[in-house]
Chains A and B, each alone.
Chain A
Amino acid sequence: MSGERKRFSLFFYSFAVLLLLYSAYLFVSNVDQLFVTQAAVKTRELTSIWDENREVMNRFAGGFWKDPYFWKSLNLTLAITLITTLIATAAGVPAAYALSRYRIPGKSLIEVIFSAVMVLPASSIGLCLIVLFNYGPLFAIQQWAGFRVAHSIFPGMVIASLVLSFAFGVSAWKATFKNINPRFELVARSLGSSRWCAFKTVTLPLARGGIGCGIILAWTRAMAEFGAVLLFCGTFRELPVSRFSGFTRMVGMDQADWLSIAVWAQIEYGNVEYGFALAYVLVVFGAMAMYVMHRIGAKGHIW
């Protein structure tokens, strides 16, 4: 490489390296928050004098691996995000296909709405959900059925994480389908196969990588959901066990919280080490998902 080329590429590299270093610094330098500092120990002893309900966490990273609350929260979050991703995929892949191929009236408006939902603050989404479910006709239906969707685990958390994860997934899948030449399908159909068969045998294999990326994106977005779940569902930790249905107790999701909310809640309780440990668990999941996505190969669209 000539000298000038080297200087040129070095200049651009430096920005990328800057971002890398910033990101790495952000995540690595907080590892020491996992260790209990001396002053914190003293306060922890104080709390036991004040009231027996106050928690005393005196261990590295709050001893999170020994706490059943952590495992239940992990269980809950993973299960709910899995359900959310399944629903998003089942509804989103056909929707993305339609948006990329068919002539739909008002398509630009529809695409604007989907993109706009992606850049709305998540708390606004949670707020809209509360306004939707706790006022107006839907509330009357809930009162008649005796069941409230807000502050519940199964419909509530699924809906809250579904809203954004669906939009992200559709955006990725739409880009995938747009990259595949529709001629292949037309050829298959001209050879006599039905639309669904053409899609299944021609487009799907070609789009496999992109659909995989979209699924991972949707799942990651669901895991990272915070504001919507906070405003719509709240926390479940101190509810008595009898409040949860038998099924929830059986799968070990009672008295657990959504992980992102648990991070924030623990830090606000004062258990900073525990909160940061949960945060690191989330980071590990996100990093694994991202790495898998890059290995699958994201070509040409956003990621």
Chain B
Amino acid sequence: MKKLFWTGAALFVLVVTAQVEAGSKDMLFHAGVGQRSSLNEIKDAFEQLHPETMVNFSYKGSGYFIADLTRSQQGDLFMPGEEFYLLQAVERGFVVDYNPETDIPAYFITVIITPRGNPAGITKLEDFARPGVRVGLGNPRSCAIGLWQMKTLKKAGILNEVKKNTVLSAKCIPELGNAAQHRAIDATIVWATTAVLYLRDCEIIPIEPQYRGVVRLPVGILRFSRYPDQAKLLKKFILSDRGRQIFHRHAYAIDPAIPVDKDGFCLDDATDKEMQYLVNAAKAVKNPALPMTPEIIGDLAGEVLRQRKTRRAGN
């Protein structure tokens, strides 16, 4: 009995120590949940380039970042889903050397998304105000998309009617995407990079350019970084062409020259091409016979192939 116990204990210690890796520089990267797929690819590419570093992510909802950073004082890089939170961090002195001109690797674009088959027949933004349409909105206090939905609907002048049509108040953007996928709502507005995850089960409808929002996604290095050199390397990688290409593959916009007005809405149809890529990709996932050349779907081939593999959404 005693022998059994001690061999068991020895095995146990062996197993535990085998799982613990020592010696590599583990960086901690605070990011929003929406960037998970693209950041995972960036992590793989970066770790191939620099084998002695490792990137750990801490995904959380936007509002929690500042509380977390204040209390734990840990982290190397910071990429919230909205520039507002990075600016908060800058004001508090958590972020060093953030340059609003150059430190934006990618942009979000707003787009309408409906369940498969478009049961409510949505074709434009004003259809949200039609009585009987079940709309899902995000909570503006907690997620950036909620704020942008309010801004867009206010600009289109239909905010009150749409509020009457709301059946779902989402705390975070994945809830909206899932609700559209499960046919719990008839329509909602999300980022293109969220919409691209639901190509199989949803229809994509571009918003008219004057109501289409372009939102900046910033990245910054934190003051209490334990590995500042590696953090700088990672940031440089994210801002490089290769990093931006990875973002583009996940339906972010990467052209810094998109003209926007002071509220962030598009001034012309420079982003129409991106929207067309997205719509074509949605069609391509549902219909395997459609061709998938870069002129038709841009860089989204990876996403389309991934989603074609299974009948139900997955990887």
Contact = CB atoms under 8 A, between A and B. Distances in A.
Interface in B264-280: none
Contacts, number: 93
Interface in B77-93: 84, 88, 91-92
A43 interface: yes
A268 B92 contact: no
B130 to A, nearest CB: 16
A238 B139 contact: yes
A134 B170 CA distance: 18
Given A42-B92, A234-B169, A238-B137, 7 more contacts: A50-B84, A150-B184, A238-B166, A240-B164, A267-B64, A267-B67, A270-B67
The B interface, classified by DSSP as helix, strand, loop or mixed, is mixed
A238 B184 contact: no
Interface in A136-166: 139, 148, 150-151
Interface stretch (B175-183, B217-225, B227-235, B242-250): B175-183
Contact of B169 (A39, A42, A148, A237): A237
A269 B88 contact: no
30 contacts: A39-B70, A39-B92, A40-B67, A42-B91, A43-B66, A43-B88, A46-B91, A53-B140, A54-B141, A134-B182, A139-B183, A148-B184, A151-B184, A234-B169, A234-B170, A234-B175, A237-B169, A238-B140, A238-B141, A239-B168, A243-B166, A243-B167, A265-B171, A268-B61, A268-B63, A268-B172, A269-B61, A269-B63, A269-B141, A270-B64
A186 interface: no
Nearest to A231: B178
A237 B139 contact: yes
Interface of B: 60-64, 66-67, 70-71, 84, 88, 91-92, 137, 139-142, 146-147, 150, 163-164, 166-172, 175, 179, 182-184
Contacts of A243: 166-167
A51 interface: yes
A99 to B, nearest CB: 35
A55 B139 CA distance: 12
Contacts of B147: 51, 53
A235 interface: yes
A201 interface: no
Contacts of B84: 50
Contacts of A130: 182
B169 A268 contact: no
Given A46-B88, A240-B166, A268 B60 contact: yes
A225 B233 CA distance: 43
Contacts of B70: 37, 39-40
A151 B167 contact: yes
A interface residue count range (under 10 / 10 to 19 / 20 to 34 / 35 or more): 20 to 34
Given A234-B170, A268-B60, A269-B63, A240 B141 contact: no
Contacts of B169: 234-239
Nearest to B88: A43
A272 B67 contact: yes
Given A42-B92, A270-B63, A235 B182 contact: no
A23 interface: no
B139 A235 contact: yes
Contacts of A139: 183
Given A236-B169, A240-B163, A268 B64 contact: yes
Contacts of A29: none
Contacts of B150: 53
6 tightest Cβ-Cβ pairs between the two chains A and B: A270-B63, A268-B61, A238-B169, A269-B63, A272-B67, A134-B182
A255 to B, nearest CB: 9
B88 to A, nearest CB: 5
Interface in A244-301: 265, 267-272
B164 A151 contact: no
A43 B91 contact: yes
Contacts of B66: 40, 43, 270
A37 B91 CA distance: 16
A242 interface: yes
- For A43, A135, A238, A240, the residue with the greatest tally of chain B CB atoms inside 10 Å of its CB is A238
A103 B48 CA distance: 62
Contacts of A42: 91-92
Residue with the highest number of chain A CB atoms closer than 10 Å, among B169, B170, B183, B184 = B169
Nearest to B172: A268
Contacts of B88: 43, 46
Contacts of B184: 134, 148, 150-151
B93 to A, nearest CB: 9
A90 B296 CA distance: 60
A240 B179 CA distance: 18
B168 A234 contact: yes
A134 B185 CA distance: 11
A70 B92 CA distance: 30
A114 to B, nearest CB: 28
A242 B164 contact: yes
Given A43-B91, A51-B147, A151 B179 contact: yes
Contact of B171 (A43, A46, A50, A268): A268
B146 to A, nearest CB: 8
A38 to B, nearest CB: 10
A269 B163 CA distance: 21
Contacts of A151: 167-168, 179, 184
Given A134-B183, A234-B170, A265 B164 contact: no
Given A53-B150, A139-B183, A151-B184, A268 B142 contact: yes
